[in-house]
Amino acid sequence: MSLFDLTGKSAIITGSSRGIGKAIAEAMAEQGAHVVISSRKPGPCQEVASAINEKHGEGTAIAVPANISEKAELQAMVDATNEAFGKVDIVVCNAASNPYYGPLEGISDEQFEKILSNNIISNNWLIQMCVPQMRERKDGAVILVSSIGGLKGSPVIGAYNISKAADFQLARNLATEYGKDNIRVNCIAPGLIKTDFARALWENPETLKRALITTPMARIGEPVEIAGAAVYLASAAGAYMTGQMMVVDGGVTIT
């Protein structure tokens, strides 16, 4: 059996109707997992779930729309997962918000609070909803999709970077609390990836050129290149890894 096999596992992946989340869901389904496709809009969620079911068999994926800022909707998603698949083995907190682009001195309280709430507090909500059953089974994997922004300062996405740095500590803290129950909690810290979420950073030729100057691989990443890291962290291959931050950035942080 492959170290990366996920047969019999079920995974919730937030923000999985596109970009990195979609790539992670597809990769986990490829390895045998049942997956929950979730984002705010029902249509895109169903499209991704239907495509996965067509490729891997009906019932491999379900679509459960949910707004991560609404605790009740997250609980409904967990309940739907338990009903459809019987359990939650893997939680991937991928959805995030960044409603402000500019220096911190100009951010409104509402914008700052939204970033911190959606990118940190909602992650903790979802994890706490799933941990009890993982504890009972003495098995579980939690993955936070953070960012190398959490390792750097920025004049334009500072609040977002603060939230992503907090995710690193959330993983470390929860890994400490749940390690004895064989629940692993880790972060993936992507560099610049070609997603709609990061479009403002790569679509402008000048912005892209500046980014690539400090990228040894001289290109930006693709969503599928983050998906492999998620499969590793969720599978037996990553069974002894917890509380860590896996940087996948084409070498940006080494220069």
Residues labelled catalytic: 160
Separation between Cα atoms, residue 150 and residue 28, nearest integer Å: 26
Q: Are strands 183-190 and 140-145 parallel, antiparallel or unpaired?
A: parallel
Distances (CA, A) of 89 to 78, 183, 210, 215, 252: 11, 10, 40, 35, 32
Query: Between vectors from CA 233 to CA 229 and to CA 239, what angle results, nearest 5°?
Result: 145
Give the end-to-end CA distance of the chain in Å, rounded to a whole number.
38
Q: Which amino acid is located at 79 in the chain?
A: D
Question: Residue 192 is encoded by which pair of tokens?
Answer: 């610049």
Question: Residue 141 is encoded by which pair of tokens?
Answer: 């994997």
Name all contacts of 52-58 with Cβ < 8 Å and 24+ positions apart.
Answer: 52/25, 52/26, 55/29, 56/29, 56/30
Q: How far is CA 126 from the centre of its chain?
A: 12
